[in-house]
A = this chain, B = another copy of it.
Amino acid sequence: MSSLRATLDFLLYDWLKAERLTSHARFADHSRETFDAVLDTCERIAREKYAPFNRLVDTQEPQAVDDGQGGLKVVLPQATHDAHEAYVASGMVSAAQDYDEGGMQLPYTIEAAANGFFATASVSIGSSLLTKGNANLLMVHGTEMQKEVFARNEFAGRFTGTMCLSEPQAGSSLSDITTRATPDGDDFERDPLGARYRLKGNKMWISAGENELAENIIHLVLAKIPGPDGKLIPGTRGISLFIVPKRLVGTDGQLTGERNDVALAGLNHKLGWRGTTNTLLNFGEGKSPVRGSAGAIGYLVGKPHEGLRCMFHMMNEARIGIGMAATALGLAGYYASLDYAKNRPQGRPIGPAGKDAAKPQVRIIEHPDVKRMLLAQKAYGEGALALMLYCALLVDEQKTGTPEDAEEARLLLEVLTPIAKSWPSEFCLEANSLAIQVHGGYGYTRDFPVEQYWRDNRLNMIHEGTHGIQAADLLGRKVVMEGGKGLQLVAGRINRTLESALQRPDLAQHANDLAKALQHVGAATKAAWATGDPQAALANAVPYMQAFGHVVIAWIWLDVLLTVPDRGRTPAQVGRVQAARYFFHYELPKVPAWLKVVETRDPTCADTPEEAF
């Protein structure tokens, strides 16, 4: 029986040899045993505190109620509080931090794997990823005082954190944000917490923007400091980053008792992912004036106008995190539908003489079309999981490897991150649809978990940069940057796998198919940019990303197969061979269809005039 733990163990140790991370100085005190202890703990918390409440957080959405002070507060189910507490108590919020900081210097690879348990159990009940990302950012870009007062209290679980980027009129287009930050008094530069500003503006799509899970919420807010003419600087250059606590904090880290001028304006009611509160926040509208005037008090992080660079420092990890969530949901649906298919009797096999109705019904896993739907889910879900862990290991290489390894990891991640974010978002969503289909009518009811997985997963193509934005990033920047060095490195890694696979008669056909597809992607990349016109090159960026993603997943599967002997295979190994074969036979042949429009720079869509729709 497939299980997430068994698959993780195989991928981490047999395939990726993750123990080799312990040769890096930072992880020297670690061993497979310490890694396993973390996985054990997270698996248990996810099983006990997350999984049983996944449906509950879907049906009992966050509620905005009167806070008794003229504003709104958010009420969450008790289960959400309990899950949050258990997560904090496990030490996972600060697991990646230095020992000196109370952390365990855990590799990101192990943390990402552990996140798989939580996301499979209940993707939306916890939102600690944001707190972690927020505090991590402050550890890199904050002052010593900001680290002490804000980041360390987030790691300790006293405060939670948010990332406030989007605005109602500027979703994907951050250059158009209009939240203003103006100096707060003549002494604004002398505040020990950082240069003090007053912020005014509205932020949209803020996850965990309001709740009572902890003492305080630390918002990291993108805003623009007006120029000398009082105008906002157009574009992303004008953006700065601020710490805006919900409740003001003293240099001792204690709450001062002052409520900041940040108001919950409303909750977004979503299709899925309902365990996580998603908010519209008004900064500085004057609802709760603070220290005598309207405007939310915020402390500058880093230098003015460098906010976006600071915010995107953690982007690779955030995007791999989304890919991991999508992957975990895909696997959750796979396990649920596999279980159903093994237990549900219905229908009979078709023989040369048709069906024999006098025979008892068989379990639906015996039908080839049900096997097809299960194998597709396995190929998508486990293929995606392998890619996520591969990328997570690159994150560790980039941070703690030798300078050469770090540089190579950086370049590989540039190219692979858009795939790691987008591919599971699309194909593990498709896996969830197949999980519904395996269940038949039951899959369409809320008595089974698969419909929720499908709804939850639909978010992943949208947040943290939409599919379209990932595609433009991949074809518009990543494969051409630094003279195409990143793309060459990815091709180099693929070729290394191909060389090994070509040695093996049982893998040679897959290797040849992949080599052809890789060559095709290379040629299409060149053809897309043949005229040098980005508008023409990028018109079909999404099909390009789909093709590229399929080639990457095929490569990952082939590389996984290098661990499988050519005879005497265990059932799990047979499963990997079959899932890979599924991917090579059923999926890889789609690549030419996607690339056709890329290499011809097909202008059909771009050329369609508005009035023709």
User: B612 and A575: CB pair below 8 A?
Assistant: yes
Residues on B with C-beta less than 8 A from A355 are 175
Residues on B with C-beta less than 8 A from A204 are 441
Asked whether A172 is an interface residue with its Cβ less than 8 Å from the other chain, the reply is: yes
Bound-state CA distance A433–B467 (Å) is 12
Asked whether A256 is an interface residue with its Cβ less than 8 Å from the other chain, the reply is: no
Task: Give the copy number.
Answer: 2
With A270-B446, A593-B593: A574-B441 Cβ-Cβ less than 8 Å = no
Bound-state CA distance A2–B608 (Å) is 14
User: A372 and B589: CB pair below 8 A?
Assistant: no
Tell me, rounded to whole Å, the shortest Cβ–Cβ distance linking A353 to chain B.
9
Closest Cβ neighbor of A204 among chain B residues:
B441
User: B593 and A607: CB pair below 8 A?
Assistant: no
**Option from B351, B462, B468, B608 in Cβ contact (under 8 Å) with A369:** B468
With A269-B446, A462-B441, A538-B368: A361-B173 Cβ-Cβ less than 8 Å = yes
Interface of A is mostly: helix
User: A444 and B468: CB pair below 8 A?
Assistant: no
Bound-state CA distance A166–B119 (Å) is 35
Interface size band for A = 35 or more
User: A447 and B269: CB pair below 8 A?
Assistant: yes
Closest Cβ neighbor of A378 among chain B residues:
B613
In the complex, per-residue mask of A582-613: 1 if CB is within 8 Å of any chain B CB, else 0: 10011001101100110010101111111111
User: B446 and A271: CB pair below 8 A?
Assistant: yes
User: A605 and B372: CB pair below 8 A?
Assistant: yes
Q: Which of A72-80, A195-203, A453-461 contacts B (4 or more CB under 8 A)?
A: A453-461
User: A171 and B378: CB pair below 8 A?
Assistant: no
User: A346 and B466: CB pair below 8 A?
Assistant: no
User: A375 and B608: CB pair below 8 A?
Assistant: yes
Bound-state CA distance A567–B484 (Å) is 43
Bound-state CA distance A571–B608 (Å) is 10
In the complex, per-residue mask of A548-577: 1 if CB is within 8 Å of any chain B CB, else 0: 000000000000000000000001101100
Bound-state CA distance A352–B533 (Å) is 6
Closest Cβ neighbor of A450 among chain B residues:
B271
Asked whether A31 is an interface residue with its Cβ less than 8 Å from the other chain, the reply is: no
User: B581 and A604: CB pair below 8 A?
Assistant: yes
Interface residues in A433-491 by Cβ distance below 8 A to B read: 433, 436-437, 440-441, 443-447, 451, 454-455, 458-459, 461-463, 466-468, 471-472, 476
Bound-state CA distance A471–B369 (Å) is 10
Residues on B with C-beta less than 8 A from A342 are 610
Asked whether A350 is an interface residue with its Cβ less than 8 Å from the other chain, the reply is: yes
Residues on B with C-beta less than 8 A from A455 are 271, 455
In the complex, per-residue mask of A357-393: 1 if CB is within 8 Å of any chain B CB, else 0: 1100100011111111011001000000000000000
User: A338 and B532: CB pair below 8 A?
Assistant: no
Bound-state CA distance A352–B541 (Å) is 16
Bound-state CA distance A445–B280 (Å) is 13
With A352-B533, A458-B433, A586-B543: A608-B444 Cβ-Cβ less than 8 Å = no
Closest Cβ neighbor of A445 among chain B residues:
B268
User: A173 and B347: CB pair below 8 A?
Assistant: yes
Bound-state CA distance A348–B338 (Å) is 46
Bound-state CA distance A269–B137 (Å) is 44
**Option from B357, B538, B539, B585 in Cβ contact (under 8 Å) with A604:** B585
Asked whether A253 is an interface residue with its Cβ less than 8 Å from the other chain, the reply is: no
Residues on B with C-beta less than 8 A from A192 are none
Tell me, rounded to whole Å, the shortest Cβ–Cβ distance linking A303 to chain B.
20
Closest Cβ neighbor of A370 among chain B residues:
B468
In the complex, per-residue mask of A409-423: 1 if CB is within 8 Å of any chain B CB, else 0: 000000000000000
User: A534 and B605: CB pair below 8 A?
Assistant: no
Bound-state CA distance A173–B597 (Å) is 43
Interface residues in A1-28 by Cβ distance below 8 A to B read: 1-2
**Option from B234, B357, B366 in Cβ contact (under 8 Å) with A357:** B234
Bound-state CA distance A582–B608 (Å) is 10
A-B pairs with beta carbons under 8 Å apart, 21 shown: A173-B346, A173-B361, A204-B441, A235-B357, A269-B446, A271-B446, A350-B534, A369-B539, A375-B608, A378-B613, A437-B461, A437-B467, A444-B462, A451-B458, A455-B455, A572-B612, A575-B613, A582-B605, A585-B596, A589-B593, A590-B590
* A-B pairs with lowest CB-CB distance, top 4: A235-B357, A575-B612, A589-B593, A372-B605
- Residue numbers of A with Cβ under 8 A of B are 1-2, 166, 169-173, 175-176, 204-205, 234-237, 268-272, 338, 342, 345-352, 354-355, 357-358, 361, 365-372, 374-375, 378, 433, 436-437, 440-441, 443-447, 451, 454-455, 458-459, 461-463, 466-468, 471-472, 476, 532-535, 538-543, 571-572, 574-575, 578, 581-582, 585-586, 589-590, 592-593, 596-597, 600, 602, 604-613
